[in-house]
Amino acid sequence: MDAIKTNKAAIHESFIGILQQKEQYESRITGSHLEEIRKIIGAEFSLNMTELHTIACIGEQEPINVTSIAAMLDLSKGNTSKVTNKLLKAGWVRKAQLNDNKKEVYFRLTPVGKKLFALHDELHAKEAQRMNEFLGKYTEAELEFTKRLFGDLVDFYR
């Protein structure tokens, strides 16, 4: 096998390894924060990453409608409607209407939703700090390449 094929195979294996590590990491994060999340949402409810990111999107942009949430999270409007309906039923978000537009439905966080939003924000800040420290060992040129590579990977998997 030539060097290019060998490198491509090694990159693929490393990428698979990253996905596996990510899965394990998310389990650890979820496990370590599960008790806090259960206190906020109640043991009878569950919350996946899309739902948590929807709460974060609403918290950052409220009031916001389904179309805008879908666009910001790169989800279909149908999927976004299902998620927001679950969040409504659980009591984490509420519907609102603007004074000048009674037809359009907007979403806002409830007090419990705001607690989840704050927890999510805290987790993201810790992760951003952790990643920033990790990336500190690379040069500007290496970071530019890595940024391009990861951008291309996101586009590849869309």
**E-assigned strands of the chain?**
93-98, 101-109
More confident residue, 117 or 157: 117
Identity of the residue numbered 109: L
The predicted model gives 16-26 an average pLDDT of 77
Contact 63, 108 (CB under 8 A): yes
Cα(45)–Cα(52) distance, integer angstroms:
13
Structure tokens at 157: 């998997």
Q: What pLDDT digit, counting tens, does each position of 24-78 carry?
A: 776 666 556 656 776 777 666 677 778 889 999 999 999 999 999 999 999 999 9
Instruction: Report domain extents, the chain.
Output: 44-156
Question: Mean pLDDT lowest for which of 79-88, 116-125, 136-145?
Answer: 116-125
In this structure, which CATH number among 3.30.300.100, 3.40.50.300, 2.60.120.620, 1.10.10.10 belongs to the domain 44-156? 1.10.10.10
What is the structure's pLDDT at 107? 97
